[in-house]
């Protein structure tokens, strides 16, 4: 199973606009094996959150990207929870990577 297939099988499915944004953000990463999903989703969430942090603060224009970042990180944890992967390691990595964005 690929990351894209796994995302397409989510129940409940995300709203259409969010699903489109997920597909667009992940691009070719959707073809990765599901074993790579947690890291790929976390990395994509980090990219999107960087865009949010660099955007003009407190404008409604950042809301879709903020929701997208949240969905990507949430799916990263869903993917790790469904696998035999190390959830503690992903949690520590997420805290370090996403927390590091605050200082940039």
Give, for all 104 residues of the chain, the pLDDT tens digit.
Answer: 999 999 999 999 999 999 999 999 999 999 999 999 999 999 999 999 998 888 877 778 889 999 999 999 999 989 888 876 676 777 777 777 777 776 65
**pTM, rounded to two decimals:** 0.82
Q: Could you give the CA distance from residue 26 to residue 84 in angstroms, rounded to a whole number? A: 23
Q: Could you give the CA distance from residue 55 to residue 52 in angstroms, rounded to a whole number? A: 5
SS3 content of the chain, % helix, strand, coil (to 5): 75, 0, 20
Q: What is the pLDDT of residue 88?
A: 73
Is there a contact between 34 and 1 (Cβ–Cβ < 8 Å)?
Answer: yes
Q: What is the pLDDT of residue 104?
A: 57
Q: What is the pLDDT of residue 15?
A: 95
Q: What is the pLDDT of residue 99?
A: 77
Is there a contact between 77 and 90 (Cβ–Cβ < 8 Å)?
Answer: yes
Q: What are phi and psi of 33, to 5 degrees?
A: -65, 150
């Amino acid at each position: 199973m690929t990351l894209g297939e796994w995302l397409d099988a989510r129940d409940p499915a995300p709203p259409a606009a969010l699903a489109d944004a997920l597909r667009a953000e992940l691009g070719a990463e959707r073809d990765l094996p599901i074993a790579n999903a947690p890291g790929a989703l976390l990395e994509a969430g980090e990219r999107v959150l960087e865009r949010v942090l660099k955007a003009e603060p407190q404008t409604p224009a950042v809301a879709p990207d903020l929701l997208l970042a949240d969905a990507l990180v949430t799916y990263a944890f869903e993917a790790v929870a469904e696998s035999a992967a190390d959830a503690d390691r992903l949690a520590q990595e997420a805290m370090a990577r996403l927390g590091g964005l605050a200082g940039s």
